[in-house]
Amino acid sequence: MTHPLLNLHNHTPFSDGAYTIDELCEAHLALRGVRVDGIGICDHLFCTPSSHPVSDEREFLRVFERETRRYIDEVHAARQRWAGRLTVYCGCEINWPLNRGMLPAIQRLMHGIDYVLFEFLDWAALTQLASQARRWPCPVGLAHADVRTAFPSTSLDQVVRTLANARIFYEINAKLMPLEQHAAWFDILPRHRVLVSLGTDTHDDLAVLGTLTTLRDFAQRHELGDKLFVPQPRAEAAA
């Protein structure tokens, strides 16, 4: 059985991407020599300007609830439009340091979100996320983490066990290329039950989509081909 080929990390003008969902879908279908089965829209959500930190939950919901709803509706509408050609998943990328105090409020806004990628975690953050990851309303993963740099005082073995126990998936992101420089990590990763996702982190250059097959081939060579994370598209949220 072959796993579907999914690129789960693409930004749109909703956050800091240059291409619309439709443009991203077209670009993926136009890739030569490869059949992409689905793409994940993974815009940054909950980006509070640091000049105006939101400190309480009610204020946070007031600022972000409608915006999040609009994002989810937009992605779900695209899913309908592209049905039969390409599966459009609704992910999001969340800056951990910026939002770690608002996680209960954020969980309430996740209806209709298929997966979350967290970025900029240090070891304390990862252990905190691990303690609650299974209670999240959708799967959670680590975005573009260079584990040696992100967790310099923690052994690779401890990192991988933490991900496995908490069922946090690990993203093989184009930013980590050349992937061979993370040989020790990609040697240990397949020996544990950790799912991986592939992501090009598309912002303003569609040429990056060309690296998707490199990421996929690398995963297959490292016995991660059977461990590719496939999100479950979630139904529309109740109004």
CA 197 vs CA 53, 106, 129, 164: distances in Å: 32, 22, 18, 14
Q: Between 57 and 67, whose beta carbon lies closer to Zn ion? A: 67
Binding segment (CB under 5 A) for Zn ion, from list 51-59, 116-124, 131-139, 187-195: 116-124
Closest distance between Zn ion and the C-beta of residue 109, in Å? 19
Site for Zn ion in 72-101 (CB under 5 A): 93
Q: What's phi and psi for 87, nearest 5 deg?
A: -85, 130
**Residue 201 binds Zn ion (CB under 5 A):** yes
Crossing angle of helices 57-82 and 21-29, in 10° steps, is 40
Is 97:125 a contact under the CB 8 Å cutoff? yes
Conformational region of residue 83, where left means phi above 0, alpha means psi within -120 to 50, and beta covers everything else: beta
Closest distance between Zn ion and the C-beta of residue 199, in Å? 8
Candidate list 14, 88, 110, 119; residue touching Zn ion; CB under 5 A: 119
**Residue 171 binds Zn ion (CB under 5 A):** no
Structure tokens at 59: 């204020």
Binding segment (CB under 5 A) for Zn ion, from list 13-21, 74-82, 113-121, 185-193: 113-121
Residues in touch with Zn ion (CB under 5 A): 93, 119, 143, 201
